[in-house]
Structures are given as structure tokens and as C-alpha cells.
Structure 1
């Protein structure tokens, strides 16, 4: 369907209705009647027709909404449109009209049906049944054109007409006449194509029309030479009638409908299994047909629509992703397609299918899935297709990335609709699972794309925002922030913080909490916090309560990532204050951090030791440690580790405690000595081969021994 032009009708400007005199002093009823009269005039230019349709659309839309309805008393404008005028408007939906006129007429029809309610549905039904009842080619074409145009607008209404008794079975008889109309076939297929959005309609099509659809796709002569001479002599070569040679648009549409019937299967009702016609044309065969169609300008949109459905099947995914030429053609088609067009949406959907991974299920979800399989009378739980596993999905993602998809997605995201941006994010999200291409994704603009899309999504679109944030987190885990946000790059590092913090909270849209987004967000924030206080301070101000809560997580990986983030945040004075401002909460946080130096997880102990090494550079932090009964003992515990990294962190902490200024340092020396610090440091020197550890431990031991000698000397003098 063609998109309406950007022009906006303004009823107060007479130039918007150039074919009419000045209507500013006329009532709304008179304006409406004049427009309707203009639409009934034959032989008008498409531009004038579209302008009048737009004018009628605006009048009906304004009149049906309280906030825009005129305050001047008048009867509802839709009442001026009787059955004959409805037929006139619907006539502009004829497939033989230009796409532009059909697009504008669809908007007008939608506005009328919204305003007229039941009366509009009644007129629409009368029109449909009347045209189908006349059973001429022209009437079929118009009725089916209207149905295909209006189905997305009022799907329940058209589905009811479509499923009315005897209608669908009659299509088969219509199509199997000896003489056929290309236009009738095309109109019928366009209607069937759109009707596949409705499950009941889709099953009816599968039941009655499969054989005919396959005959169009497969059982046709390749040229006029293959048609028997007697029949060929009767054919009208240039008219609307022709023998069994189906046109290319007809064949392509039939293939798309077959793909939809196979891509969205539904369980048949009891007793109907044998009556439903089996589909013998495989999805792989259809996908090959769509691939070949992709290279032709006239069939590109149809082929992409078919691929969007065919690519749902694992075998087809694998075949398409392994074809480098196809991927380049598909991405080129996306690059050249207008924004918000069916081609754009279909191409993005195909790329989503090619790159998607199977959802990760918890053990409980796996058990539920098995129970459902048994409940559906399966002999055994059927596992996922091997071609859908992570290894195959990763290879497909790499193929799509190498075909150059990121720059095209970046360009598209500047003008895409909310729906298409959701598909873009899904593609980026899948690609971001592969760590080795994250840096290149960032270089090609993926971070800028995600930050832009995050700002476009409404705040209540939680699922889309979280997926965007998760993709951003993955890319920022393994990418140097200075390459993304530094130098002449206009992106600010702070722009990535709020999206990442969103993942630290529970997802309200799911029943079972998934900790992977939390974990990966913590890693990304840790990477950002490795830069400077420009990143650290906003993280502290915006997310510290959540970080503090995650510090006590039952998941060891989440706890580790949280401590690593805190380690980097301790480079900021604001971060130090959270543990050393003398308050009771700060004291409690220090207690938890000290306890984590005794964690079972080596990486957690290492991160906690690193955080304490930074904290102990501040005398207020040293004082907070000394106030804990086991504070110094935890620090000496790091010195007792076999790991050189942990010994180094422990030695630095002890050295900082011993060299703290004033009374705090004196207290520190006493507590370290009382806890056996001399022997612990001597043990460090015996076990370590690391120069930094040795130098730090020697300096600390020297400080302890000097102080001990000084104290002994003072005692002897006294």
C-alpha cells in the first residue's frame, strides 16, 4: 500500500480544495456534500482525487473525535454518506487504480468505518455480497480488492465476510474455469495473502485453496508454445483473459500464500485432518523461488514478504544464511527501500529470523515445556531442531554481519517506525552475542544506533527498552569506552549509563527473573567506570542503592560483577564516601566489603581486595576498617593467599593502614601488630616472587619493626 504524502489538509485554507469555490462560510455538511460530489465526477486526475479523499478523511476524522469535533451544532457527517456513496469510495480501492489513490482511499475508508460504526459495516457487507453475487470478472476484482485493502483496518469484519458460508469453496470453482482472468487471479491472491493474518481464514484457505495455489506455482506451461494450438488460438493475447499461463505477479503471490500456510501451522479441528489439502511444495522450494525473485525490481516486495515467512524454518534459515550473494542482495534491498515501507519491514523481519537464537529456558521452564509436549499427545518430548542451536545461530549471525548489515541498520534507524526499530534492535541484540565482532559493531555505529533508539522508545515500552539496553551492555563489555565516547566522537559516556542501569532492576514483563542482563550490565558499567569520574559519579548517584543490593545477591557471578564495579568506583571520592563518611550505612557497607575478601570465589576476593586497596588510601576509610573487630584480620587474610594478585592487594592495604596520618596510623600499627602482622608479612616475603609484592611487604614490615623498636626504646628510657 502506498504511503500517503506529507501534505496536511487544512480546512481553513481554500487552496486545499482547488476544484471548489471558497467554502469558508459554508457548513460542514455542505463542505462534505461538495467533496462527495467531486469524488463522483468521472475522469479526474489522481492528484485531485487524492486531495478530495484527504479532505473527506480529515472531515470524518475530526467529526468522530470529541476534541476535534466542531462546536457548531450539526448532524454526524457520516450520515451524509449513503450506500451509493460508500460504493463510490470503495471503488477507489480497485487494484486497477493507481497505488497512490488506493492508499488515500484506504485512509478515507478507515475514517468512515470508524465514524459510522455498525452502519458502515452494514454498507460494507452489502457491497461485498452484492459484488460477489453478480459474479462478473469486474465485480470479483473490485470486491476482492476492497477486502484485501480493508482487512488490516477491520480484520474481524472482513474475516466474517471471508468465512461466510460457501464463499471460500466458491473460489476454487471460480479459478478452475477454462478461461481465466489474470486480474481476477491477482485480486483473489492479494485477498488470500492478507487473509492469512487471521487463523480461521488461514485454515480455510489451506483446506480449500492449497491445490489451486500449488497449480499456479508449479503446474503451468512455461510459454505459449506449450499450450495446445487449439487453445492457443482462442487466447486473447493482450486482453484481461488468457489461458493457463499465469503472470509473474500471480505466481509470486501464490508462492507467498503457500509460504504463510506452512510457516504458521495450526492444529486442525477433530475430524477435519483428511479434508485439509496437504501442501506438497516444500518451504525450501518456495525460498529458492523468492531468492530468484529478489533480483527483479517488479517482484522484490513480494519476494521479501515470502522470505519473511519462509525464513522462520530452520532449514531455510541455514540455506539463506550460507548464500553470500543472497545476503548482499537482501541488505541492498533494505538500503534502497523507503522508510516505513512493506519492503523495509519484510527485509528486517527476514534478518531477525536469520539471526535469532532459541530462548534460554530455566530448568522449571524446560520441565513445563516437556509436560506440554506430553499433553499434546506426543510420544516423547520433541527437542528443538539442531539447526536452531546456538552454534548454528552464531554462524548465521556472523554471515549477516559480514554482509555489511550494521551501516544499513544505522542509516535506517534515523527514520524508521517504532515497529521497524524494534526489529533493528532484535538484529543488533542477536549479533551482540558474538564477542569477537562487538568492537567492529561499535566502530560501525551500533552504539550510536542503540542510544538513539532507546531515546525514541516510549518509557512504557519496557520490553523494547530492555532489549536495547541489553544489546548496548554486551557491546560495551568488550569495547574500550575511549574508542566509543572519546576524542571527536559527539557521544557522551553518560548517555549510556541510564540504559544500563535499567537492567539492574527486575523486568516486570517476565515471571522468572533472568540474571544475565543484570550481570552483563554490571560488566558494562564496570568498563565505563574504568575511565574517569565523568562516568563514575553518575553511576554512583543514579544506581548505588541497586548496586548495594546486588552486592548481597545469591548468585555468585552477580556478586562478583558487583564487587568489580565497586572496585572501579572507589577511584572517585564520591565512591569512597559511600564506605567512609562515618555514617552507620557506610560502616555496614565496609563490613560487607571486608567479608567478601573471604569469599569462596577468587575473582570476588580479588575485586574486594582491589576496592580496599583504593579505600585505604583515605584515613577515614582506614578508621572505618579499624573500627571493625575483624577488619585488620580480613586484610591480613589477603596477605596469606597463594595468589600473587591477592597478596599484592593485601600488602598494599596493610601498608596504607600503617602509614595513615596521625592517630589513625598509630592505631593501625597497633592493631596490625596485635593481629600477628609481622609474621604474616614475613610469610608473604617467603612465598612471593612478585617484585611489587616484595617491595610493598618489605616497606610495611620495616614500618612495623621500626615502630616496635621505637616503642621498646621508649619503654627502656622510661
Structure 2
């Protein structure tokens, strides 16, 4: 029987293969990839792999950390003008989207590595193609410009704005080139160019008339576009009658929407030269809505609406159109994660729901001064952007079923799209009546996930997320949100809420609304049990303590209410009653707040001290203060029953404290006129509970089993 042959590990090359692999240098690999790409004729998947490999080689060679240690010529120098032509050729709009995407990354890597040399070859390529002025050359040149505008905007904008190019583009398209593909390539280039301010101004100046003609030039009957001869003519060359494809019309509409939605201020003396489009932004938005309802060219309709919905009138029309909102949300639900459709749909929803920022009085005055300086603009914002209109739009968007879709997209989207999602939820959370439903539909889970995903240095994103979370937690029962089968722990929301108590480094003037709403949410959590109270005390007490001295009445009130709930935990009591100097100072502040002008603040401070005085160390701290007992007796004489209730509980706790502390309490209350104060409390009170506590306190104070009727009558 023959012995079994030895099996070679397939992951280890045979000796001959190893020698061959080692002999192929990194330069050879680059040249082989370029040769294969120039030869072409292979499957799309193989082309993408080769482009991807070339991208990696160029990127690795551009960094000292990843560059091959073996001496070699910089790889970008191996890419000559012919190779650049080949790579840029893969950006042709007639290529599959996957190939165009990989070619864009390869071109980006090459331009990054080659610097000025690469810009020079790219410029030569573009100018040569435009100069040849053939059908194919125009398509390729325009396709390259459209693909590379986001990659190297400064370079492409220079080519775009060179003398004579944009000025002649509209007339050229109108008179000579009647091909759908050439027009489409030109429009894709204009669409990308709108991202650049100067390019957008040039398009508005020289191409608006042509764009408007495309949008409004609709054949009167379906027969006009159904003829095979006409379709053939549209595709391949010049025709006598202008008939534009639906895709071309939609692209032109998107460009017009960008021109109108993002207006650029004209230069001095330039106003008369700009040709205004006759198609209004409202008409364009109606066109996009129709496109979306028919599920045709969805990307163009969403992109167009993303710009059109910046206008207040368009916002109102879109939000009030319930079928449109359903279609938009369905499109968002069906769109792949990190796709242009996803980002565009989220942008539309953000535009519909965003409130104007709240301005301080100083900021309002500055805005008015700027408006006066620019007489061409109204000093008042559009009323359709006022809060009541935005609130109605938020309600409409919520009722269309947006939250579950946002929850889904938050799990798989990019950081940029997640910021849009959070911003939409933040706007919706301003409407208090829907907060409970938002929580039921997963908004809290969404926000906690987003907070964990955003980097710690992305303060604006984390603060927006935390603020939305605070608003929802104000209006919901924490037990229902975090209890039962819900796997989200209540403590996961504490760190985001505490972040809002810090100053926002992005603003010069502190906005106290997030602070106030965070305090309310923390108070709600602290009303549950020590599972929530203890981490709030451990992680946030220094910040909470500072806010006791806030100049803002509402912030002070909310802080005292939070502290009142924290006093239910032993850790909270310790902060005021451990016998130390800091604890004594805190007790001093809390006692002073029982004399606040604000009723709710006095009530919360009295409630906190009522809990504290159950501990003899806290009673001792109060007795050590000169006016401690006086302030608590003043609560007993208040006109409001709630305040008297808290006052007599504090006094009774002091009188019944164990040992010498209790004896000192009785003596001090007697000296401060406690009998008269409690008698006044009896006269004013109607609550049986308050009466019983007051009588018990009088018994302790007078050392009697039962106060005499004459004494009670005064």
C-alpha cells in the first residue's frame, strides 16, 4: 500500500511561486494594473477589483506609515497622461455606477498623491475633450467634472469658470447638441457645480433660461414622444423639434431648485444681468412631488425637494400633503443605508421640522440692525417659519409614522445621516403631547444609541441628542420607559442628561433651556428609586450644587426640586449632614431657599429639609445655623397649606431627634417663638394631616400629653 502523499497548505505558496511573487515589485504590480485597465474588455467585477487595488497601492504609497520599505519610484509617477485618460474614462456616465464609484476613489487617491502634476494632467484632459467638441468627448468631460466636483472642488470650479466655458454651454446645448446623453451629462455637471458659490452664480446668470426651457418644454400629447423615429433622434443626434427625456427634465428641475433655494447675493451692478427663471420654486416642488408619487426617478425628486423644502411656502405645502409624507417616509424606509436617497429624504424631513433658533434680546437687536443696513431684505422673518407653523408641521410628520423608520435608519446609517435623524427627533420632541408616543415607538432607544455612537469630541451632536432625550423623559413615566421587559437600563440616560448641565463651548452666551429641561428629566428619574438617585449623586452632584446659586429663577427651582428627590437616598443626605464644613454650607443655602420669593422653590426646599431632618446629624446642622430654626418656623406660618405641611414636619423631626440633639431642638424652637408659630399654623390649616402633626409638635414642645384647649385657642 502506497503511503499517502503530503498535502501542501494552500495558504503557503510553493517554492517556485514564492520566488515568483517576491520578484514582482510594487512598481510592477502598479504597471500590470494600469495595463489591464487600459486593455479593458473584462467583467465589471474584475474592473472594480483592479481599480480598488490601484487605489490601495496609491493610498499606501502616499503615507510614510504604510509605504513599502523597499526603495521604489513614487507610484503616481508611473501614471502618465494615457493612464490618466484611461482612469478618467471610467467616470463616463455610461459606465455602471459601481465602476464610476471605484474610479472616483482611484482618481481621488491619484490626485492626492500627485499634487500639481495630477491637477495639470486633469486640466489637460478636460480642456482637450471640450476642445474636440464631439458627442463622446463632451459626455466624458462633463461626466468627469460631475464626479470630481465633490473631490477637488477648487480644481473643477477653476475649469468650470474659465473664460467662455459656462457662457457658451447653454447656447451650445440648445443649438447644436440635441442628444439626451449629452444634455444629461451637462446637467449632472451643473447639478454638482451648484455646491460651489461662484459656479452657482454663473449657472444662474448664463444657464437659467436654458434650464427653464427644458423644464417647461413638455410635449402636448403622449403621441409626440411615442414615435420610434423621434425616440431614435433624441438618443442619437440633432432634431428639429425639442423633446427632452424625463430624466433630463428632472435633472434640470433639480438644478433650478438649487438655484432658487440657495440664492447668492448679487454683486454691485450685476442685478440686471441675471436671468430669473420663470418656473417658481413652488411649481418645481409640485413637479418633484408628482415624480415621487409615481415612483419615477426617485433620486432626482428627493434631491430636488431637499433644496426646494428650504423655502417656507414649500414646507407648508409638503407637510400638509399627507399622501406625499407617506410616500416620502416609504421611500426613506426602502432606501439603502448611506445612500443619496436616504440623506436627501432625511434632509427634507429636517427642513420641514426645524425651528428657528431662539434669540436673546441682544441678538434680536443685532438682527434688526443688519436688516436696516440691507434695505433689500425684510427685517422680519417669514411668518411660516414661526413656532406655531413649525409645530403643526412636526405634528404632521409624526402622524405620518416617521419614528419607527428613523429608529431603523439610526442603526445602520452614517454619522452624518444619524445627525439628521437626531435633529428631526429633537424638533419633534418640542411638542409635549407626542412625547409619550415617541417613547413607545423607540425614540429613547434611538437617542441612547446615537449618544453612544457620536464621538466624545462631537459636542454639538451629543448635546442635541441629550436635549431631545431630556424633553421626552420630562413627559414620560421612567418606570414605563425603562421597566418591565425593556432591556434599556435607566442609568444609561444619566450621563447624557448630566452633559447638558455643563456650559456649551460652541456658544458665547449660555442657553439655560437645556439645563432647565435636563434638571426636570433628572428629577423625574430621581422620583423612582436609589438605582437612579445614586449615580446622579455620584456623577453629577458638583454640577447640581453649583446651579443652586443660579441667577435664573427656573433653573434654581428645578435644581432644588431635584435635590428634594435625591434626599430620599442616604447618599443625598450625606451631602448635607455628614458634619463637615461643605455639608454645613450646603445646608445654609438650602435653608435660605426656604425664604425664596418663588413658591415652588420654597416648597421644594422645605420638602428637602423635611427629608433631611429625619437624620439627627442634619438636625444638628440646622441648629448650628443662627437663623435655621427661624426660617423653618416661618414656613409654618405661610398662607399655603403645602408650605405649612413641610414646615411642621421639619419642626416635629427636630423636636423628636434622639438624645441631646432633640433636647437642643426643643430648647431652640421654644426660644425662637415656636409655640406661637405652631398655634398660628393650627389656625390656618384645614388638612387633617397638618393638624395632627402640628398638635404632636406642640405636645413635644410643651412637654404635655395633650395641649390645653385654652392654649390651642390662643
Task: Report the TM-score when normalising by structure 2.
Answer: 0.94
Of 232, 236, 245 in structure 1, the residue corresponding to residue 233 of structure 2 is 236
- Greater mean deviation of Cα atoms: 60-69 or 39-48: 39-48
Which residue in 2 is equivalent to 1:172? Answer: 170
SS of the equivalent of 2:390 reads helix
Cα distance per residue 1:352-377 (max 9 Å; x no partner)? 00001011000000011111112223
**Partner Cα distance (1:14, 1:149) in 2:** 41
1:530-580 deviations in Å (ceiling 9; x for gaps) = 111111111111111111110000000000000000000000111001100
Decide which moves more: 484-493 or 83-92.
484-493
**Match of 2:498?**
501
Among residues 624, 628, 640, which one is paired with 2:625 in the alignment?
A: 628
Matched with 2:293 is 295
Q: Which of 576, 581, 586 is the equivalent residue of 1:579?
A: 576
Q: Which runs of 5+ in 2 are unaligned?
A: 1-9, 14-18, 708-714
Structure 2 distance, partners of 1:299, 1:228, is 19
Give, in whole Å, the separation in 2 of the partners of 1:675 and 1:199. Answer: 75
Question: Which digits, 9 at most, give the CA deviation of each residue in 1:106-161, with x for residues without a partner?
Answer: 11111111111111100000000000000111100000000000110001000000
Establish whether residue 430 from structure 1 lines up as the match of residue 390 from structure 2. Answer: no
CA distance in 2, matches of 1:311, 1:463: 24
Match status 1:692 vs 2:692? no
Give the CA deviation at 1:674: 1.2
The 5-angstrom pairing of residues 565-714 of structure 1 reads 565-706=562-703
Aligned to 2:306: 308
Give ranges in structure 1 of 5+ residues lacking alignment. 1-11, 16-20, 711-718
The CA RMSD measured in Å over matched residues stands at 2.0
Work out whether residues 196 and 260 of structure 1, in 8 Å CA contact, stay in contact via their aligned partners in 2: yes
Alpha-carbon separation, structure 1, partners of 2:498 and 2:415: 22
Query: Any conservation in 1 of the 2:178–2:234 contact (CA below 8 Å)?
Result: no
Corresponding residue for 1:93? 91
What whole-Å deviation, never above 9, does each CA across 1:502-550 have from its counterpart, x for those lacking one?
1101100111110000101110111111111111111111111111110
Q: Distance in 2 between matches of 1:238 and 1:135?
A: 17
Q: 2:388 aligns to what?
A: 391
Answer with 669-678 or 608-617: which moved more: 669-678
**Is the 1:580–1:587 contact (alpha carbons within 8 Å) kept by the matching residues of 2?**
yes
Match of 2:712 in 1: none
Q: Does 1:519 align with 2:516?
A: yes
Name the counterpart of 1:364.
Answer: 362
Residue 349 of structure 2 aligns to a residue whose secondary structure is helix
Distance of 1:551 and 1:675 partners within structure 2: 27
TM-score normalised by L of structure 1? 0.94
Task: Give the total of aligned pairs.
Answer: 692
Kindly tell me: are residues 482 and 22 of structure 1, through their superposed partners in 2, closer, same or farther at Cα, counting changes over 3 Å?
farther
Moved more, 126-135 or 673-682: 673-682
Q: How does 1:227-266 map to 2 (within 5 A)?
A: 236=233, 239=236, 243-266=241-264
Please report how far the alpha carbon of residue 239 of structure 1 lies from its aligned counterpart in structure 2 after TM superposition.
Answer: 3.8
Equivalent pair of 1:613/1:649 in contact (CA under 8 Å)? yes
Among 137, 155, 158, the residue aligned to 1:157:
155
Q: What SS class does the counterpart of residue 187 from structure 1 fall into?
A: helix
- Match for residue 375 of structure 2 among 358, 374, 377: 377
Partner of residue 190, structure 2: 192
Shift of 1:42: 2.9
The corresponding residue for 2:71 is 73
Q: 2:442 aligns with which of 442, 445, 448?
A: 445
Q: How does 1:9-20 map to 2 (within 5 A)?
A: none
User: Is the Cα contact below 8 Å between 1:432 and 1:471 reproduced in 2?
Assistant: yes
